[in-house]
Amino acid sequence: MSYEVLGITVLWIFLFGYLIVASIDFGAGFFSYYSTITGKRHVINNMIERYLSPVWEVTNVFLVFFFVGMVGFFPDTAYYYGTALLVPGSIAVILLAIRGSYYAFNTYGTNKNNSIYMLLYGASGLLIPASLSTVMTISEGGYIEVSDSGKVSFLFSKLFQSTYSWTVVLLALVSVLYISAMFLSYYADRANDRGAFEVVRKYALAWSAPTILSSLLVFFAIRGHNAEHYQRMTEHAWMFVVSFACFLIAVYHVWTRKRLGLSFIFVMLQFGFAFFGYGAAHLPYILYPYLTIHDNFTSEPMAIALISVFILGLLLLIPSLYLLMRLFLFDTKYVQGKRGK
């Protein structure tokens, strides 16, 4: 494996990690708000809070890691994406800022829940995936113009009017809600919280069909937008078939209310196969057609240093993350709320 491929694989894994943990987080924020206005807050909120409180900070790091690593391995991405994404990137940052801080203000700061804080938190949780997903759309090409002198400009109206970009936004939204509800079903089941479980199970089942439908929509939209990419995706067709099979297994388990942990593993596999299939077909382009992973890849000593640090970092991170999960995910007493903070 060349350093370029190794580099992009590492980054893609981190983006996938972000996709999962952030979806759980964003969706939970929305459900938390939704349950408030539908009067079910008392049923599911404790359970959501017990999960989110110790991990909310970690979620952000996956994202920071991704973009710092991206600039490190592929310095040209900073130039192209940086210039083009000023407005959408800033909007995403502002939403992340509002969400992160108001979560903390609400959870740690006040004794009673502040409904404005809850709204800010819930609404931003849906807007962030939408704004972040525009980066994916842009990477397909057609929304950035590079002049002869090298000036990069972002064609905002073109993105806004494109069917493809809207299908991606739709997919981002529904999959956030689906992943989150599937996870919360597992968590509620572990907590032995039947009331909460029944509520989130309904959410999970309700969002499963839209998720698969919007995935199909994105497929067709890619064909219309970037035929070359679509062609390569069909070469990796088996990954999408496996992904669909994982989806069926996951939903089946939630439907029968059995083996919810296994069910969530299949949710991760479902998105894993689809995400890596999509990513593999995207190669070698990072920004179609201007930037491939081979253009201006970082110098060899820097690539080696980054990869070595990455491995050392993982040696530190994996046990720590394991400890975090041991204490807050797999500790039955904590999950059931029998341990104080």
Partner 1 sequence: MLLSSYDPVMYSRMLTGLTLAFHIIFATIGVGVPLMIALAEWIGIKRNDEHYLLMARRWARGFVITVAVGVVTGTAIGLQLSLLWPSFMKVAGQSIALPLFMETFAFFFEAIFLGIYLYTWDRFKNKMTHFWLLVPVVIGSSASAFFITVVNAFMNAPAGITVKDGKITDISPFGAMLSPAMPTKVSHVLVTAYLTCAFVLAAIAAWSLLKGRNHVYYKKALKLTMVSAFIFLISSAIIGDLSGKYLAKYQPEKLAAMEWHFETTSEAPLVLGGILTEDNEVKYGLKIPFALSILAHGVPNAEVTGLNDIPEDEHPPLFIHYLFDLKMGFVAMMVLIASAFMLLLWRKRELAFSNKRILRGIILAAPLAMLTIEHGWIFSEVGRQPWILRGIMRTSEGATVSDHVDTMLWVFALLYIVLAFSSVTVLTRMFRSNSAEQEIEAKGIKGGDAE
* Residue 144: C-alpha distances to residues 21, 211, 290, 302 (Å): 30, 28, 9, 29
Q: How far is the CB of 9 from partner 1 (least distance, A)?
A: 16
**Residue 143 in the binding site for partner 1 (CB under 8 A):** no
**Torsion on CA atoms 82, 86, 91, 94, rounded to nearest 10:** 70
**Residue 318 in the binding site for partner 1 (CB under 8 A):** no
Which of the residues 284 through 313 are near partner 1 (CB under 8 A)?
A: 298-299, 301-302, 305-306, 309-310, 313
**Residue 3 in the binding site for partner 1 (CB under 8 A):** no
**241 versus 305: smaller Cβ distance to partner 1:** 305
**89 versus 210: smaller Cβ distance to partner 1:** 89
From 110, 192, 231, 256, residue interacting with partner 1 (rule: CB under 8 A):
110
Handedness of CA 26, 283, 11, 14 (dihedral sign): positive
* Residue 311: C-alpha distances to residues 59, 101, 305 (Å): 20, 31, 10
Q: How far is the CB of 122 from partner 1 (least distance, A)?
A: 17
Q: How far is the CB of 336 from partner 1 (least distance, A)?
A: 14
**Residue 61 in the binding site for partner 1 (CB under 8 A):** yes
Sequential DSSP letters for 159-226: HHH-HHHHHHHHHHHHHHHHHHHHHHHHHHHHTT-HHHHHHHHHHHHHHHHHHHHHHHHHHHHHHHH-
Which of the residues 321 through 340 are near partner 1 (CB under 8 A)?
A: 321, 323-324, 327-328, 334, 339-340
From 17, 27, 69, 272, residue interacting with partner 1 (rule: CB under 8 A):
69
**Residue 157 in the binding site for partner 1 (CB under 8 A):** no
From 6, 55, 249, 329, residue interacting with partner 1 (rule: CB under 8 A):
55
Handedness of CA 180, 185, 189, 193 (dihedral sign): positive
**Residue 97 in the binding site for partner 1 (CB under 8 A):** yes
**Residue 9 in the binding site for partner 1 (CB under 8 A):** no
**Residue 247 in the binding site for partner 1 (CB under 8 A):** no
